[in-house]
Chains A and B, each alone.
Chain A
Amino acid sequence: MSANVGLSVLVGCAFLLLAKGSNWAAAEELGHQRAKVIEPSIAPAALIAPQLEDPAAPQDPPGTGLSLFLRNGCGACHTIRGTEARGTIGPDLSHIGSRTAIGAGILPNSEEAIARFIARPDLQKPGVKMPAFDMLPQTEIQTIARYLKALQ
């Protein structure tokens, strides 16, 4: 009888250990999650609100297409002749308005398509080397697109 009880306990312990063993992996994960939870959280509403409006707000008035183009750093990668934009990573945009297509020929050349390309080039053309600018206010993107389309 004592052998019976002893065996039961042993097997039980083995099971517990097994269960614990598989827990370890899970516990590692949990540990990670916990580390994440410790990261402070602030009410989401508070987060969205300020960004660009607050004291933070741009001092200069909403600019022309060119000043927005320069202000957001497009000039680091693109050239527009006659301006301080002299980047060479991306295509020269000096006459982009007169081209028949953009994005290496995959998009029609319209103000609308240019705006869509600026916001999410990766959606228009997978593997593209231009970062997305969809965090810019839509009006700024449109102003830039209108300016670019007008560059003949």
Chain B
Amino acid sequence: MPGSRVRRSPKPSSASDEKDAINRVKDQPIMIRLKHVVFGAVGLPVIVLLGAWIGFFNVGASSGHWKVTALFLQLAMRSAVRTYALAVDAPKTLDRRGLPAAAGHFARGCAICHGEPGEPRSPAVMRMLPQPPNLALTVGDWTDAQLFRIVKHGIRFTGMPAWPARDRDDEVWAMVAFLRELPKLDANEFRALAFDAGQATGGEREPAAPAALADCRRCHGSDGQGRGDLVPALAGQKQAYLFASLHAFASGDRTSGFMALPVTGVDPADLAALARHFAAQRPLSADRDQVPAEMVNKGQQIAEIGIPERNVPACSGCHIGSDKNPIYPHLDGQHAAYLERQLKLFRSENRGGTQFWRIMATAAQRLTDDDIRAVSAYFSKRSEGPQ
């Protein structure tokens, strides 16, 4: 190319000199000069941008990635998951009590892309790039921590979404536990886990109930008792509390990935009807788990007197009696595991709720794990009225 450095070398007089000069330049260590930097920093992005602007890059999914791109993306994804999962603290054994809720969530939130037992992925999804894998076949490739990382954060640029609620690692672990079950499930077993048995027969369907009710029943049951220990019973709960809680889920004031999806797009009038429906159901029969009597007694102490020396107020002041604020929920007969989970969430300030949640967060602040277990056991056994 004319005008290059060689011509401008100090003594271009003779041919041999010129040759020397060329050799000298060749032997010089390669140096990064300012113009390289300027060209690279400004020129390349401009060229790439230009390419994008004139439509050089094919964003169509039909032709797939080039083999090398696909391999690179897979490598990048797998390595990133592997690296980031190192920071995840996986429990030794996965808690299986959340399986029904996770299965219910899977049926609505994941199966559309990943398919479910007995229900192949739709042809439309099969044309996604990358294709969502059939998880029953691939979960074995990942450790628990890696699955946690994927389910919690999603995978960028692939359509794989992040968990819909922050600070709910407990829910993500429940989903990981379910993914571990998935390869073992056939179509019937999956439906038994993800749908309520009463649903097949239509349950006690009433004409006024909104369509969303079918969705609620998958997790809360046709009888409103809550399927699995971590899904709250709603039957007989105060209507005002149910209604205010549904709004809290819808607005994000109370975060739960399991509840975020069902309340999305439901008309506020329908939320009121749903609250009315569950409040009118026959309240709960008490939990049948065997718990040592001394634990229940300790729980009763906390419920009726509190723990004054640690500034824990008596729960009964807000939760027992029919004359209490209708936003203060009944706890009687509620699943103990659910109560425990909520109290721990309150204690760590990860449980929002209605406008009143702060009061409860204050009350839960100084409870120890033992207190929480005891008082939850007590309330799950308790029933209002003549004891």
Contact A8 B251 (CB under 8 A): no
A12 with B240: CB separation less than 8 A? no
How many Å from the CB of B209 to the closest CB on chain A?
15
Task: Please measure, in the bound complex, the distance between the C-alpha atom of A5 and the C-alpha atom of B362, giving whole angstroms.
Answer: 66
Contacts of A73 in B (CB 8 A): 313, 317-318, 324-325, 328, 359
A52 vs B328: C-alpha distance in the bound complex, in angstroms?
Answer: 12
Q: With the chains together, A52 CA to B162 CA distance in Å?
A: 34
Interface size class of B (residues with CB under 8 A): 35 or more
B362→A131 contact, CB < 8 A? yes
Q: Which of A49, A71, A77 has the most CB of B within 10 A?
A: A77
- Look across to chain A and name the residue whose beta carbon is closest to the beta carbon of B324: A71
Shortest C-beta distance, B11 to chain A (Å), equals 22
Contact of B359 with A129 in the complex, beta carbons under 8 Å:
no
Contact B243 A12 (CB under 8 A): no
Partner of A50, one of B43, B45, B247, B276: B247
In angstroms, Cα B152 to Cα A31, docked, is 11
Give the residues from 61 to 92 in chain A that come closer than 8 angstroms, CB to CB, to chain B: 67, 70-77, 85-89
Complex CA–CA separation, A83 to B308 (angstroms): 19
Say if the beta carbon of A106 comes within 8 Å of chain B: no
Task: Answer yes or no: B358 CB below 8 A from chain A CBs.
Answer: yes
Q: Is the CB of A1 within 8 A of B4?
A: yes
Stretch from A39-47, A96-104, A111-119, A142-150 contacting the other chain: A39-47
Q: Which of B132-175 contact A (CB under 8 A)?
A: 153-154, 156, 161-166
Bound Cα distance from A133 to B251, whole angstroms: 21
Interface pair B326/A56, CB less than 8 Å apart: yes
Per the 8 Å Cβ criterion, residues 327-370 of B in contact with A are 327-328, 355-356, 358-359, 361-363
Binding site for A on B (CB under 8 A): 1, 4, 30, 32, 35-37, 39-41, 43-45, 153-154, 156, 161-166, 239-240, 243-244, 247, 250-252, 255, 260, 263-265, 268, 272, 275-276, 306, 308, 311-318, 323-328, 355-356, 358-359, 361-363
- CB<8 Å pairs between A and B, sample of 16: A8-B39, A11-B32, A36-B166, A38-B161, A39-B164, A40-B250, A40-B252, A40-B263, A41-B250, A47-B251, A55-B272, A58-B326, A72-B325, A77-B313, A77-B317, A89-B313
